[in-house]
Structure 1
Amino acid sequence: MTDSQAKLEGTPLIEPSTTDHPLYDGVVEACRTVFDPEIPVNIFDLGLVYTIKISDENDVKIIMTLTAPGCPVAGEMPGWLYDAISPVAGVKSVDVELTWEPQWGMDMMSDEARLELGFM
């Protein structure tokens, strides 16, 4: 095993969010206003928002994915999220990054989303 492999072992696939930041709840609520047009559930509860990082200077970085690489709104959804979060009081800047790793799966949905879609 190389040193780089050893460092990667045990590293979470999804970077943790800054849940203890005072802006976190407001950013989550803003994320919940954005919906995938093909699924009647917001993208946060769908599990498409992987990470919400908020710096001490109130810069917000979102790492998100889509249900599939061929999603018809792939080019638009990061902008929708940017537009939803930017007006949140106290937010200085917003950066939305799209990732495909790890691949989204239905197990990433909240219980509320599963219930809404009839999977529970």
Structure 2
Amino acid sequence: MSTLENNSPKFQPRWITCRLSSPGSTTTTRKKITVAKLAAIANVSESYFAHLFQKYLHQTPLAYVTRRRLLATEKQLLTTSDSLETIAFNTGFANVKAFNRAFRQRYLISPHQYRLTHK
């Protein structure tokens, strides 16, 4: 059993949120985040990190990062007139297609439609 699991409060969402994105940081949204990088921070293997993440946060690391990115896109859609391509890039999506797919999956509406109906 790793030190991380022995000290499970350290692996709670607050700890992950602090590690992934400090105030004013674009870590979660712009940089490529990998399980390998996160596992290195936690000082455990990649598979064990993914296991602990799922155990304590009830979602995969990818799902968590995607959710954080989508929250950032939601804000940008409502507060800027930036193009969808710019927003996708600013929030760490590989391209507009990936951004549209993730957004539609979560919100059941396209980013463009979301902007029109919520602005």
Normalised by the length of structure 1, the TM-score is 0.29
Q: Which has the higher helix share?
A: 2
Q: RCO (CA 8 Å, sep 6+): is it higher in 1 or 2?
A: 1
Normalised by the length of structure 2, the TM-score is 0.29
Q: Which has the higher strand share?
A: 1
